Chain A
């Protein structure tokens, strides 16, 4: 009897010691209660989206239906691999210009003053994947901020989400203006979050914050794009 009691005591002690007490605290956020509204998409529209973004239509359908991830994010294109069909980055950029928002205006407008010759203190990141995400209310970025337009997520290194491949707070300037859901056009962004794009996405992939969950159609219309940007290093 004493032996069983001791074994039980040790088991309880070990379980408690595995987790810090704080894990049991409740932030009051239950992402599961928030969701992307059920939506339908026609076969034609699905195929057009797949063509624009150079992805497999069936995989796209699955990604669109995947819903929120465990961190309250919806980024359907971030885990979607592009087809290996020999399409060049230049052709993909042309397709990006064909993407239209729900209001009929272009999602992308190239920045005529963007130059591939970067000044000192900046690094050029060429032909990087870019996707867009919406987030559940209450989500904070990996850098601890409540999200806002102009923030982007990047890959993290070494399995550590607070070790982004581009440091938090770093300013980046895209080769294009993106129409954001708040009606503004923006080409300057700041790294504030990390994410886990698929393994074949480019090293300096960026995932743009597109606001709350109701903006999910805009993140879908943005799709995946091939962007070039300057990163400020000092």
Chain B
């Protein structure tokens, strides 16, 4: 009888400890989200469309391409002096990489924006490709002008969706990004133009202490919300498991 009582007490204590750990972890996550400090920008930052505009104007001014059309653009952490807290919280980032091409696929330019600095990282021309005498080879084709993009990374609908989904900025060493990131690119699956927002899942870290990212997609051609997904863990081979948010 004593043994039985002892076992019941051990089981009850185990349940209380597990519940306690769960509650503490939940509390930690909530605290992490609400304590996010508003950014104090110390470097020039741009929305996605502002960055595209800036880059295209620069490419034209440098006489590198007459009518540069967007292939893709993405914000990046690659800027050493950016000390902004939660960069991207207002939909703007200081560092962007943009890929532009012409309508014929004869030239591709990769442009990098880093705060006040803009530079050309890469230029490729189809005429320089060996064995291209017949002109059968072409590069990636630029397709989009800034006016074709109906939604910007700092639009209210985007920032509201981040709040609604409780996407967190990357803040810790384990998070794979700093703050929020944005990308506009054409999907190879269905040719849709996507504005992608990266953040950290409100349920991150998971029970193993791993940082879990989350994404949210808008159709950049009409501004409609497409989907949001969060990572919840990894399978036995280390591959990520995603679920809708």
Contacts and interface: CB of A to CB of B under 8 A. Distances in A.
- Decide whether A and B assemble into one complex: yes
Interface of A: 3, 6-7, 10, 13-14, 17-20, 22-23, 25-27, 69-71, 105-106, 109-113, 137, 140, 142-150, 156, 159-163, 167-171, 173, 177, 179, 182-188, 190, 196, 209, 211-212, 232-234
Interface in B88-137: 97, 99, 105, 108, 110, 112, 114, 121-122, 124, 126, 128-132, 136-137
B237 interface: yes
Contacts of B206: 20
Contact of A148 (B112, B126, B185): B185
A233 B4 CA distance: 64
Interface residues of B, number: 74
Given A22-B243, A147-B188, A160-B210, A171 B176 contact: no
B233 A10 contact: no
Contacts of B79: 234
B154 interface: no
Q: Is the interface of A mostly helix, strand, loop or mixed?
A: loop
A186 B187 CA distance: 17
B189 A147 contact: yes
Interface in B211-238: 211, 213-215, 229-235, 237-238
Given A20-B203, A144-B229, A167 B77 contact: yes
Contacts of B187: 146-148
Given A20-B232, A169-B97, A184 B129 contact: no
A185 B183 contact: no
Interface in B159-209: 176-177, 181, 183, 185-189, 194, 196, 198, 203, 206-207
A23 B232 contact: yes
A17 B22 contact: yes
Contacts of B8: 3, 6
Interface stretch (B10-18, B39-47, B59-67, B144-152): B10-18
B124 A23 contact: no
A196 B235 CA distance: 13
A10 to B, nearest CB: 5
Contacts of B121: 171, 173, 232
Contacts of A149: 140, 188
Contact of A146 (B75, B188, B213, B237): B188
B242 A188 contact: no
Contacts of B74: 169, 190
